[in-house]
Amino acid sequence: MNKYKFKINGNQYEVEILSVEGNIAKMEVNGTPYDVEIDREIKQQKTPRIVRSTNVTTAESMPAISLTNKPVESKGESPIKSPLPGVILDVHVKEGDKVKQGQKLMTLEAMKMENNIDCHKDGTVTSIKVSKGSSVMEGDVLIIIGD
């Protein structure tokens, strides 16, 4: 529970309080166990309880808003968004490049880790919205893939 060091009349004492129940404290002094009676009962402090308010919203009650990209089968242009805030370390494609699903497009450093940003469909890079060294936030459009 708690450890203390006392020096009484030049003698060193190491005291460890093991438990306190009512007015009896179980402790060890220099390795020897003792039950010590305390003049008054020590009130144990209560651990605070966290109580949630009743109006907590759940995932089912909130509309789905996608900040990041997901596989898309549709025709036309589709953006690839940043999955989390970070810095663009490298851009592996150029505008006009043909790309395949799963191909690495960019490397994003986030929380001191490198993350690959991969293509989610076959197509052509129509626009690159960031460059090497750019800081991005979650949901920022990084690149646009067209057909």
What pLDDT does 130 receive? 92
Residue found under tokens 């009349």: 9
What pLDDT does 44 receive? 60
Mean pLDDT of the chain: 82
What pLDDT does 109 receive? 92
- The pLDDT of 109-122, averaged and rounded, is 90
Q: How distant, in Å, are the alpha carbons of 85, 114, 133, 142 from that of 90?
A: 15, 10, 8, 12
CATH 2.40.50.100 maps onto the chain at 78-146
Band of pLDDT at residue 105, cut at 50, 70 and 90 = very high
What pLDDT does 58 receive? 55
What are residue 28's DSSP bridge partners? 16, 33
Single out the residue of 85, 95, 90 nearest to residue 132, CA to CA: 90
- CATH dotted code for 78-146: 2.40.50.100
Q: Which contiguous run of DSSP H or E holds residue 2?
A: strand 2-8
CA angle centred on 136, ends 98 and 63, rounded to 5°: 90
Contact between residue 12 and residue 25 where contact means Cβ atoms under 8 Å apart: no
Give the 3-state secondary structure of residue 101.
coil
Q: What is the dihedral of CA 128, 133, 139, 142, to 10 degrees?
A: 10
